[in-house]
Structure 1
Amino acid sequence: MAKKTIADLGDLTGKKVLIRVDFNVPLDKVSGEIKNDRRIRGAIPTLKALLKAGASIIAMSHLGRPSGDATKDKLLTMDKVVERLADLLDKPVKKAGSTVVGPEVTATVAAMQPGDVVMLENVRFDPREQKNDPEFAAAIATLGDAYVNDAFGTCHNDKDASMVAVPAALKSVRKPRAVGLLVAKELEIIEGLMSAPKQPVLAVMGGAKVSDKIAFINALLQKVDHLLIGGKMAYTFLKAKGVDVGSTQVAAEELTAAQPLLQFVGTKITLPVDALAAKSDDLNSTQVFEGNIAAGFEGVDIGPKTLAAYSEKIQQAGTVIWNGPVGWFEKAAFSKGTKGIAEAMAGSSAVTVVGGGETAEAVEQFGYDAKMTHVSTGGGAFLAYVEGKKFQSLAQIDDK
């Protein structure tokens, strides 16, 4: 997908650039403090490049899922994000106004000088954002001379005005639209994975629900030589094969989703041979089970034999794609599997790609993010792009 990048925008001296970023960072539910700023850090190279080129920046993002109740949504303002962004850029950043668009925002933007950075309020505070509202989009579009999409994590949100209707509005007045450095890299890496990956290709799949990832799994099975399953979804496959998974909860619809994939188990798909399980009424009481899990226990991680086998397969791979933790990694006692997969990938000679979301958080938590070939910033977007879905957000960007 040959899309224009910021290098194709021409002379930006004195230009105001609207940039859609993905600053939807995890927040402490009480204080509103940012718990992980990885998504903000991901956009810094693009922002610095635009500033170096003489532009001023109008950044916009959503944050969380606002309810429409100002009291409940008070932690979802962009205030903390603005503070962190200023620290990372080492320069002042201000919020453009208390609303996403309006006279206050227009006046703030009009007063901007080259090198200035402002942030619009949480775009989802305006209900028109998720309706692709053309009037709302036009109001945002009038603020800028160019548009940059550097929000790969939200590229699959085709009904978000800031992703689709805003660049469409700029097209109507012939203003340039490009992707940022982060999105350009994501597209390059993923398209390379799908077209000419280093052989053999191995995928590791974790997470909770098979049903959520059916399309992704089917897409992977057409591309990879082998798929290793972990996480809660592993118990769905095992139960579908007749293995007793103890007190591990597996929904009926998940079993239905797994059934068509059972034909690949033992050939293209490998399931865990053992599991770490904890007592449902006492998580501190754990036991490793091979085969059936005893009643009263629920699976919380892959077992040591599975980890050893999976690690060996990773060492033999040319490319490894990983999406979804293989255990309840947030709890230290149940994190050995996920940490072990990350360690094996970091120590391999393969091209290693981590598919965003919780997996990216885990890899960073364990200190292996810098040792991966690529850690995607978009979990859902990564899945959708690999599945082959066409993104309306990218369709709005100018072709080279």
Structure 2
Amino acid sequence: MNYNSKKTLKDLVVSSKKVLVRVDFNVPLKDGVITDDNRIQAAIPTIKYLLENNAKVILFSHLSRIKSEEDKKSKSLAPVAKRLEEILKHKIIFINETRGAKLENAVSELKEKEIILVENTRFEDVANGEVVKLESKNDSGLSKYWASLGDVFVNDAFGTAHRAHASNVGISSNIGESALGLLVESEIKMLGKGIDTPQRPFVAILGGAKVSDKIGVIDHLLSKVDKIIIGGGMTYTFHKAQGLEIGSSLLEIDKVELAKEFLAKANGKIILPVDSACASSYADVTPTIVGENIPEGMMGLDIGPKTIELYKNILKDSKTVVWNGPMGVSEFENFKAGTVAVCEASAKRKADGGFTLIGGGDSAAAAIKLGFKDDFSWISTGGGASLEYMEGKELVGIAAIQNK
């Protein structure tokens, strides 16, 4: 999809206007404390731009899923308001409601360069103890209500760009003017550079547990890439398709035929592990290294040392690397070697003038945790959205924004 025709933040006149901004403040919380504020940090450039241009800023975000009244007690955006205030060094008016007189009065009294953060949009998914999903199902009444609070809408939440919710598609469909925020604009530009107009050789690294999670990505990328490197649990469905023994490794038996079709269609582009780091159970123990055939009673939990060398050799000549999914159970200390090695090899490509992109999710978390945050050209903030972009699907939250 080409989103270059969409209005962006700098196409808007925002001075003295009430600007509704969908941000992604879906941060991890432990006992009410934010454990990772990367998503808040990612929204700062758009918020600062609006403040510098005298806008009245009204922020909307979800936080986790809300399935009960009990969920609301632990999933308020109040801690986010506090952290945002610390980062911006700017007062945040937190409204602990998603609609009603308190919110409306705060909006009507808002002055230029002031910021309101509205309570978790997904609180609208539960009413009087019942699951109603007004936000998640893009309820027209809620969409129109939120849109009525502002003059213009900016979508800067890439993490929900693939979802049609009231706070993104709903607002943009019911307001006079809409545009992409700076973060979403960068996401589209970088994903396009990595996937649609890559320098060659172009290598995709796909990991994770299941072939079924990556069907669309493999299908879409096969015609674009020079090589697809496979790791993670889905390795063993491909190995089964080749007639190899996989012991008690993860297997999607209903996807074996599809894996065979992919291997035939790929014509050598799909590269599979030649050895695995195994254990007799799903546990963080000292690994046993075995070749392509895994004996009964053993399961593959990471790529092995020969595969690491094979993959490093393929990556060292690449000009574009797109990575989505770990190579093994990277949360286990004994089974993270493959993910670390792929991360290091990919990161080196940027230093050599290549373009390196991580498509969010577990691989993004791994790269950041391992200290490689600044060694990639781009680390996407949206796992599901970047995955759907890699599948060639339309991102409805972006499609709903007005054209220039």
TM-score higher than 0.5 here? yes
1:243 is paired with a residue of what secondary structure? coil
Q: Please report how far the alpha carbon of residue 151 of structure 1 lies from its aligned counterpart in structure 2 after TM superposition.
A: 0.8
Q: Please report how far the alpha carbon of residue 276 of structure 1 lies from its aligned counterpart in structure 2 after TM superposition.
A: 0.8
Is the contact between residue 302 and residue 337 of structure 1 (CA under 8 Å) also seen in structure 2?
A: yes
- For these two proteins, the number of residue pairs brought into alignment is 390
Which of residues 103, 107, 110 is equivalent to 1:109?
107
What is residue 399 of structure 2 aligned with on the other side? 395
Is the contact between residue 274 and residue 307 of structure 2 (CA under 8 Å) also seen in structure 1?
A: yes
Structure 2, gaps ≥5 residues long:
126-133
Q: Please report how far the alpha carbon of residue 9 of structure 1 lies from its aligned counterpart in structure 2 after TM superposition.
A: 0.6
Counterpart Cα distance in 1 of 2:368 and 2:233: 21
2:174 is paired with a residue of what secondary structure? helix
Matches for 1:50-129 after TM superposition, within 5 Å: 50-67=50-67, 69-97=68-96, 99-127=97-125, 128-129=134-135
CA separation of 1:18 and 1:310: change in aligned 2, threshold 3 A: same
Is the contact between residue 203 and residue 224 of structure 1 (CA under 8 Å) also seen in structure 2?
A: yes
Q: Please report how far the alpha carbon of residue 282 of structure 1 lies from its aligned counterpart in structure 2 after TM superposition.
A: 5.3
1:223 is paired with a residue of what secondary structure? coil
Q: Please report how far the alpha carbon of residue 251 of structure 1 lies from its aligned counterpart in structure 2 after TM superposition.
A: 2.9
Counterpart Cα distance in 2 of 1:267 and 1:249: 24
What is residue 174 of structure 2 aligned with on the other side? 169
Is the contact between residue 153 and residue 380 of structure 1 (CA under 8 Å) also seen in structure 2?
A: yes
Is the contact between residue 284 and residue 335 of structure 2 (CA under 8 Å) also seen in structure 1?
A: no
Is the contact between residue 211 and residue 257 of structure 1 (CA under 8 Å) also seen in structure 2?
A: no
Amino acid at match of 1:382: S
What is residue 143 of structure 1 aligned with on the other side? 149
Counterpart Cα distance in 2 of 1:282 and 1:165: 45
Q: Please report how far the alpha carbon of residue 195 of structure 1 lies from its aligned counterpart in structure 2 after TM superposition.
A: 3.5
Q: Please report how far the alpha carbon of residue 47 of structure 1 lies from its aligned counterpart in structure 2 after TM superposition.
A: 0.9
What's the TM-score once normalised by structure 1's chain length? 0.93
Q: Please report how far the alpha carbon of residue 35 of structure 1 lies from its aligned counterpart in structure 2 after TM superposition.
A: 2.3
What is residue 9 of structure 1 aligned with on the other side? 12
Amino acid at match of 1:176: E
What is residue 274 of structure 1 aligned with on the other side? 275
What is residue 20 of structure 2 aligned with on the other side? 18
Q: Please report how far the alpha carbon of residue 105 of structure 1 lies from its aligned counterpart in structure 2 after TM superposition.
A: 0.9
Amino acid at match of 1:168: S
CA separation of 1:95 and 1:255: change in aligned 2, threshold 3 A: farther
User: Are positions 1:366 and 2:365 aligned together?
Assistant: no
Amino acid at match of 1:125: F
Structure 1, gaps ≥5 residues long:
none
1:82 is paired with a residue of what secondary structure? helix
2:168 is paired with a residue of what secondary structure? coil
Which of residues 378, 381, 384 is equivalent to 2:382?
378
Q: Please report how far the alpha carbon of residue 392 of structure 1 lies from its aligned counterpart in structure 2 after TM superposition.
A: 2.8
CA separation of 1:54 and 1:284: change in aligned 2, threshold 3 A: same
Which of residues 330, 351, 355 is equivalent to 2:355?
351
User: Are positions 1:152 and 2:158 aligned together?
Assistant: yes
Q: Please report how far the alpha carbon of residue 264 of structure 1 lies from its aligned counterpart in structure 2 after TM superposition.
A: 4.7
Residue deviations 1:325-349 (CA, integer Å, cap 9, x gap): 1111122221111111111111122
Q: Please report how far the alpha carbon of residue 137 of structure 1 lies from its aligned counterpart in structure 2 after TM superposition.
A: 0.9
Q: Please report how far the alpha carbon of residue 33 of structure 1 lies from its aligned counterpart in structure 2 after TM superposition.
A: 2.4
What is residue 216 of structure 2 aligned with on the other side? 215
Residue deviations 1:357-381 (CA, integer Å, cap 9, x gap): 1111111011112110111111111
Counterpart Cα distance in 2 of 1:392 and 1:264: 30
Counterpart Cα distance in 1 of 2:274 and 2:161: 37
Q: Which stretch shifts more, 258-267 or 226-235? A: 258-267
Residue deviations 1:17-58 (CA, integer Å, cap 9, x gap): 111111122233xx1322222211111111111111111211
Q: Please report how far the alpha carbon of residue 255 of structure 1 lies from its aligned counterpart in structure 2 after TM superposition.
A: 2.6
Q: Which stretch shifts more, 315-324 or 189-198? A: 189-198
1:199 is paired with a residue of what secondary structure? coil
What is residue 129 of structure 2 aligned with on the other side? none
Amino acid at match of 1:87: E
2:166 is paired with a residue of what secondary structure? coil
Q: Which stretch shifts more, 104-113 or 226-235? A: 104-113
RMSD: 1.6
CA separation of 1:284 and 1:386: change in aligned 2, threshold 3 A: closer
